[in-house]
Amino acid sequence: MNDVFVAGALHLDVVVDAPRLPELDETLMGDSVAYRFGGKGGNQALFAARMGARVAMAGRVGDDSFAETIFAELDRSGVDRSQVRQVPGSTGMSVAIVEARGEYGAVVVSGVNRTIDHRQIDARDSRVILLQNEIPEDVNLGVVHGVTDAQIVLNAAPARTVSRELLKATDLLVVNRVEAAQLTGASAGDLDASDAARALAALGPGTVVVTLGAQGAVLYDGKAVERVPPPLRAEGSAHGAGDAFVGSMAAELARGRALGAAVRFAAGSAAYFVQTPPDARRAITRRDVEDWLAGL
């Protein structure tokens, strides 16, 4: 049995460090560039595996050189990639600009991620099924159709309209402030995370987590709202921290942890990720996170 089954996008990320994001029509000189494994689905699968879960991944890569990089990283992390298909076309990619303060902006080019066929995906025999918005919604719906014995977690990122059908099929919805605002029709700047969590739960999921970056997270379990602060305000690039949070939380849920405990561990895992230099993040283990949290 899989602890966590992820159906989602696989990308090669081009990450540029710059003093700030450029203004419209501005050409800004950057400081450095790195090429990293990415895609929300891929990142979350890797981090769930690093936190000790048995993870399987379904997705697509193209027939280009990016694919081998992605396969190698999945293999290195111990993720079962038997349902990752290589097809003609371009592997997905993203370009992210990371500011000196650690905040970032990104553009995603989906490539063959748009062609995933849910009929070629078998998510049965899994404790947690983890989905995101980087693949078409009909794929997400197809993956969970008829599933009755797994917890369905939808990370509705990036922000887009999500159907009531998918929300009703979801057990746990995870969104950030921008995504919560988009789904509720509120302004991100004026969003009350507790109210948003309750409103989103009423749309079908019943249980909602709203992540708030350096402010931690808010969770609503259908009965009460709980605020989960981060263990500390970590300094560093936040690019990928949301995926570290979601992957860690999914791993904890698969271990049978209660939602509150899973979210608290995930907040700590994401904070550890942020304060770890980017080039060292691929080596993060569960023991690293546990030891770091124990020392705070």
DSSP structure string for 116-144: --GGG----SEEEEEEETTS-HHHHHHHH
pLDDT of residue 38: 92
Q: Give the confidence band of 108 by pLDDT, cuts at 50, 70, 90.
A: confident
Confidence band of 103 (pLDDT split at 50, 70, 90): confident
pLDDT of residue 235: 82
Give the pLDDT confidence of 208-251 residue by residue, as tens digits: 999 998 889 999 999 999 999 988 877 888 878 999 999 999 99
The two beta strands, 126-132 and 207-211, are unpaired
**pLDDT score at 205:** 96
pLDDT above 70: percentage of residues in the chain: 100
Domain ranges of the chain: 2-21+31-294
- Cβ neighbours for 199, distance < 8 A, ≥ 6 positions apart: 184
Q: What per-residue confidence (pLDDT) applies to 123?
A: 96
Q: What is the pLDDT of residues 180-196, one digit of tens each?
A: 999 998 887 778 999 99
Q: pLDDT per residue over 79-97, tens digit each?
A: 999 999 999 999 999 898 9
Beta-bridged to residue 175, according to DSSP, are 210
Eight-class DSSP state of 114 = G
pLDDT at 136 > cutoff 90: yes
> In this structure, are residues 161 and 142 in contact, taking their beta carbons and an 8 Å threshold?
no
86: Cα separation from own chain's centroid? 22
Do residues 248 and 266 lie in contact, with contact meaning Cβ atoms separated by under 8 Å?
Answer: yes
User: Are 239 and 273 contacting, i.e. CB atoms less than 8 angstroms apart?
Assistant: no
Q: What CA–CA distance (Å, rounded) separates 112 from 84?
A: 11
Nearest to 189 by CA among 177, 200, 201: 177
Mean pLDDT score of the chain: 94
pLDDT of residue 190: 79
Distance CA 125, CA 1 (A): 5
Cα(99)–Cα(76) distance, integer angstroms = 29
Residue 262: band (very low, low, confident or very high) from pLDDT cuts 50, 70, 90: very high
Pairing of strands 80-86, 151-155: unpaired
Q: CATH assignment of 2-21+31-294?
A: 3.40.1190.20
Cβ neighbours of 74 (radius 10 Å): 23
For 14, left (φ over 0), alpha (ψ -120 to 50), or beta? beta
